[in-house]
Structure 1
Amino acid sequence: MPDAADATDATDVGDATDAAGLTVGQVSARLGVTVRALHHWDEIGLVRPSLRTAAGYRLYTAGDLERLHRVIVYRETGLGLDRIRTVLDDSTADVPGALRAQRAQVAERIDRLRQISAGLDRMIDAHERGLLLTVEQQAAIFGPQWNPDGPAQARRRYGDTTQWRQYAERSASRGPEEWQSIADANAGLDRALADAMDSGVTPGSPEANQLVERHREVFAAYFPLTRQMQVCLGRMYEADPAFAAHYDGIRAGLATWFRHIVDAAARAHGIDPDTATWR
């Protein structure tokens, strides 16, 4: 039947001329609207072709095309089809009011997209830089001993790891106040570790194990830290000159003592520190 022929676009129908009307395919090509959309608008009564050929093919008149133009214009403003029908057919419709309401919605979407764009910029910067703070902010928060090249060095060393991505995702949403809170938590932990070592707290004791758990909690500000990963960090704190200098600068021997309490806590959870890996 003709409907099926319309769906496949009978643009070569001999009696379909501009004077007599345009077929679905011709209208689709002329207005840049899909045949499927034209059929849908016909089915819901939004724009129905006024004529048919003797063979039953749909034909759009000049008046139909004018209505189609208006539908397309309003659709491009973001109005839904039901709202468009009201605008076109209801003589009492407040068209300027409808358009103003649509403009307000568009403005809200634009504002939201700008926020998303800014967030993406920060996320990109965080993945590439790690720390979204100025050198001055870093020094004020982390102290004069802080190395501002540290984040770049970490990016080169760990940039292809899951943990760097997790760190960057957290960093992207943080400002100076939150970083100050994290720095304070780390400084408080360092003092607690030094005080515990001075007090003779032994590895494997409840006090030592509580400090190990506290370290994992504080470190989670950067990325989730498993017990095996914590063992690896303990080794690095002792072996890496920069980390060792930090901890031993607080108390002589603190880096080694910290490794010992981490290893003891790991053993209590069934982990052999000698075979622990970064996972």
Structure 2
Amino acid sequence: MTEQDGLTVGRTATLVGVSVKTLHHWDAVALVRPSGRTRAGYRVYSAEDIARLHRVLVYRELGFPLSEIGRLLDDPTTDAHAHLTRQRRELRERIERLEHMVSAVDRMAAATRGGMQLTAEQQVEIFGSDWNPEWVDEAAERWGDTRQWAEYRERTTELTPQDWREAAAEHETLHADLAAARRAGVEPGSPEANTLAERHRATLSRYFDCTHSMQVCLGRKFVEETGYTEYYDGLAPGLAGWLRDVIFANAIAHGVDPATAVWE
């Protein structure tokens, strides 16, 4: 058999992307029948048959039942172009409705998740170019099953971008004051250092109830975890260790032993 003879059922199925069983069914219901035969007598699909198959696939993708597809293809009075134009318009309207539904689901999911309601772009704009939006997800994975994370979610869900800008400004001012105190040689345990330690704890308590014992646990991380150390020491040399010592001294003044402090 040559290409001029037409295509067999198997080759046609491969070409148009349907099963042989589907082609047999469409043949049985007189939707698309192979109109040619090879010299050996095998039924084959001509170029016109293939074109009709493609039109069937388009209408089927649009959701038309086979009976209506056959009527549309066989009715000489049907304006196929006008019909497809109308279907395209209806599809665009359906896509727009679905996009609105996706947006609504995204908003519902965010509200259910709670916590920071900022896009990645807003986070970078508010917290600076060094901010990595993935840190929020990493924090959720690390502490998501704790009571403090539940408090954070509850307290931050309703915060607006402006609220976050004010919080970011507060943090920036605190860190600038911490760095200045470190450079000035403020001693841990001094009244000035204790005041800074309490300001540090107050910023944390904006998001969850941070006890002196919890603050000590965080202070340990400032020198044990590279990310914290690099951040604070980038503000002022040795700031990470100094801030830990300030927190420890302030905790002792409030009856907490840093050597035995736990997350509670």
Q: In the alignment, which residue of structure 2 is the partner of 1:125?
A: 113
Shift of 1:118: 11
Shift of 1:123: 3.7
Of the candidates 121, 135, 141, which is equivalent to residue 156 of structure 1? Answer: 141
* Partner Cα separation in structure 1 for residue 110 and residue 153 of structure 2: 10
Question: For each residue in 1:88-109, what CA deviation from the matched residue of structure 2 results, as whole angstroms up to 9, or x when unmatched?
Answer: xxxxxxxxxxxxxxxxxxxxxx
TM-score, normalised to structure 2, is: 0.58
Shift of 1:121: 5.3
* Partner Cα separation in structure 2 for residue 184 and residue 254 of structure 1: 20
RMSD: 1.8
Shift of 1:240: 1.3
* Partner Cα separation in structure 2 for residue 121 and residue 147 of structure 1: 21
Unpaired segments ≥5 residues, structure 1: 1-116
Q: In the alignment, which residue of structure 1 is the partner of 2:224?
A: 239
* Partner Cα separation in structure 2 for residue 166 and residue 247 of structure 1: 26
Is residue 261 of structure 2 the alignment partner of residue 276 of structure 1?
Answer: yes
Unpaired segments ≥5 residues, structure 2: 1-104
Shift of 1:242: 1.1
1:190-205 to structure 2, matched below 5 A, reads: 190-205=175-190
Partner-residue secondary structure (3-state), 2:259:
coil
* Partner Cα separation in structure 2 for residue 118 and residue 145 of structure 1: 27
Is residue 122 of structure 2 the alignment partner of residue 134 of structure 1?
Answer: no
Question: For each residue in 1:61-105, what CA deviation from the matched residue of structure 2 results, as whole angstroms up to 9, or x when unmatched?
Answer: xxxxxxxxxxxxxxxxxxxxxxxxxxxxxxxxxxxxxxxxxxxxx
Q: In the alignment, which residue of structure 1 is the partner of 2:238?
A: 253
Question: For each residue in 1:137-170, what CA deviation from the matched residue of structure 2 results, as whole angstroms up to 9, or x when unmatched?
Answer: 0001100111110010011110100011010111
Of the candidates 220, 223, 229, which is equivalent to residue 208 of structure 2? Answer: 223
The AA in structure 1 aligned to 2:188 is P
1:33-44 to structure 2, matched below 5 A, reads: none
Partner-residue secondary structure (3-state), 2:202:
helix
Q: Which has the higher contact order (CA 8 A, sep 6+)?
A: 2
1:38-187 to structure 2, matched below 5 A, reads: 122-126=110-114, 130-187=115-172
* Partner Cα separation in structure 1 for residue 255 and residue 222 of structure 2: 22
* Partner Cα separation in structure 2 for residue 270 and residue 171 of structure 1: 31
Asked if structure 2 preserves the Cα contact closer than 8 Å seen for 1:203 and 1:209, the reply is: yes
Query: Deviation above 2 Å: which 4+ runs of structure 1?
Result: 117-123
Question: For each residue in 1:9-30, what CA deviation from the matched residue of structure 2 results, as whole angstroms up to 9, or x when unmatched?
Answer: xxxxxxxxxxxxxxxxxxxxxx
The AA in structure 2 aligned to 1:142 is F
* Partner Cα separation in structure 2 for residue 118 and residue 205 of structure 1: 50
* Partner Cα separation in structure 2 for residue 162 and residue 263 of structure 1: 24
* Partner Cα separation in structure 2 for residue 132 and residue 248 of structure 1: 30
